[in-house]
Amino acid sequence: MLGRGAAYRVSRGATFAHILNSNMAAPAGFSSLVQQPAFEFTNTNSSSLDQACNSSSKNSPKPKKIPKELIDKYRRGKVHAVSFLYQLSQVLQFQVEMKETVTTGGVIGFYFAFCAVIDGVEYKTGMGINKKEARLKAAQLAVEELLSNLENDTVLPDASVSPPPLPVKEQNSTASAIRPRRVMFEGKNPVKDQVPSAVKELLSKLMDNYPEFSDCGGTVAAFVIQSPTGCEVVALGTGNYNAQECLAPNGRILHDSHAVVTARRSLMRYLYRHLLLFYSRNHCLEGKSVFQLDENTKLLSLKSHTTLHLYLNQLCKGAAQIPSHLRLNPLSVSAWEVNNQIGLHVTVDGKVFSVFSSTVDQSGSRIISMSATDKITQWQVLGFQGALLSHFIEPIYVSSILIGDESCSDTRGMEIAVNQRVDGITSKLPMYYCVYRPHISLVPSVIPTDAHNAQRTLSLNWSQGDVSLEVVDGVKGKAVEESPFKSGPALASRLCKAAMLSRFNLVAKETHREELLAAISYREAKMMAKPYQEAKSVLKSYLATRGYGQWVEKPPISDHLTM
């Protein structure tokens, strides 16, 4: 871990300066105290601060030749269009960004649209029922036009020249698809109404069935799937603590019981369940699965017209909780404080600390976890499915993060943490991984927050298909005796690593993946997911290089359980 002094050894001034300037209103007289940046940091889908700092002038000569092997790699499908577009931007020295909007209409109330903007010129808009599909389509359209121009020895269009008009049909369908800044939902957004309603309905049902645990819902996270039939909660978790038990190689202790972590592990159980449905060799059961086969990747992906959303009833611990008074003003805040607020954080015994803090003990006597905010940042790049599920499915991202926190007045901290800290990383990631930017917004609270109840150390988990709740003692990392669901006398949680490994083995057998069954340990099976591990390494290196601090890893012993 970096010490307190390490915060000053990393070049991070430009990054934090422009992120703060673009998100926080400056106080009176601020412009006279701090030199203003020479460019604007626009909050668009793939705009990169590093590119804005380092790219050449628009008027500088642009080379027309691209290495043939780069094009061949794209044509063979070894690199996806979004990544290839950013690689082209580096070779041809142009600036690229992906402008995003949401347009009403379509099967489930809205669809997504992206437009690639190259040196100020807008290309055709790609559309889809989810962001991944729309973004890839937009990048593909831009790449094909660029390659066509280059093959014809045509220079890149100048920003002062208007792009050719779109066909009438496309003009009509994309009239509202191009915006200069971040997406805003147009008209009535059904997600903002339907998701909180679905979460509230499920919580009410669970609390009615188990009133003795009604005080365990102070901090709630839930994953909701939206399809043409509506919204349904598929995974839910509550909790606010780390286990105080020592790390052990048996994988039967739940180390992190924070709500979003518990909900995410419940989501993984839901995904395993639907993998088994898909591979059941029963046509009726396969049709009930949320998955479909992607013929290009030979992996499974969520069905078309299906999107995943995350609901939180509290703003996550960590960088998302940037204080409202924080300003980039040398008279009111030090660079060290800025580093602490926007950098990576860890949680210990339910308390949060900056990774730059010298008070964090890494001796191994306590279990340390990355903050919920940092974990969401990671999952929006690597996918919420984790390493083991990556053997079977493509990365799964959430399309929106809805925060029902009555005490929260804005989402700028979450925007900075989840979206802007990873600007510019897409081109460095392996195929099928990208920076997937969720729409972040405030919604009504579905449950009152009470941080002082007697059951605050307990954590609930549930996923669609479960007959009953499981109640875990977050401090001990095991289910309690009174839990409606108990896996056995040892009280190991159904969310623990050993339970996940058992499900992984079951799917590996169903899919006849002998190479996966040959892995001798949980860790080895995770490391065999090479693209996922590469993306993970890129992300952690990128965050460290940008000055956000070192990602704190748990000791390998926690992954040593055998197959």
Walk along the chain (563 residues) in steps of 10 and give the mean pLDDT of each run. Answer: 34 43 41 29 34 37 63 79 79 75 49 77 76 80 78 46 38 34 44 92 92 84 92 95 78 91 98 96 92 88 92 91 61 58 85 79 69 95 96 94 88 89 87 85 80 74 95 93 93 95 96 94 94 96 92 79 72
Helices (H), 291-411: 335-342, 372-382, 386-389
Contacts (Cβ under 8 Å, ≥6 apart) of 309: 191, 195, 223, 224, 225, 226, 231, 398, 399, 400, 401, 402
Q: How far are the Cα atoms of 37, 338, 412 from residue 21, in angstroms, in the given order?
A: 9, 12, 12
Tokens, residue 331: 């008279």
The CA-to-CA distance between both ends of the chain, in Å, stands at 31
Q: Please tell me the predicted confidence (pLDDT) of residue 45.
A: 38
Name the phi and psi angles at 144, rounded to 5.
-65, -40
pLDDT value of residue 64: 52
Residue among 543, 436, 424, 431 at smallest CA distance from 96: 424
- Alpha helices for 76-223 (secondary structure H): 81-92, 131-151, 168-173, 190-209
129 in Cβ contact with 113 (< 8 Å): no
Q: How many residues does the chain have?
A: 563
Strand, helix or coil at 359?
Answer: coil
SS3 of 392, please? coil
Beta bridge partners of 117: 97, 122
- Beta-bridged to residue 236, according to DSSP, are 222, 462
Q: What pLDDT shows up at residue 364?
A: 55
| Calpha distance 353→4 (Å, rounded) | 12
Q: For the purposes of burial, counting CB atoms within 10 Å of the CB of 300, is it exposed (0-12), middle (13-18) or buried (19 or more)?
A: buried
3-state secondary structure of 475: coil
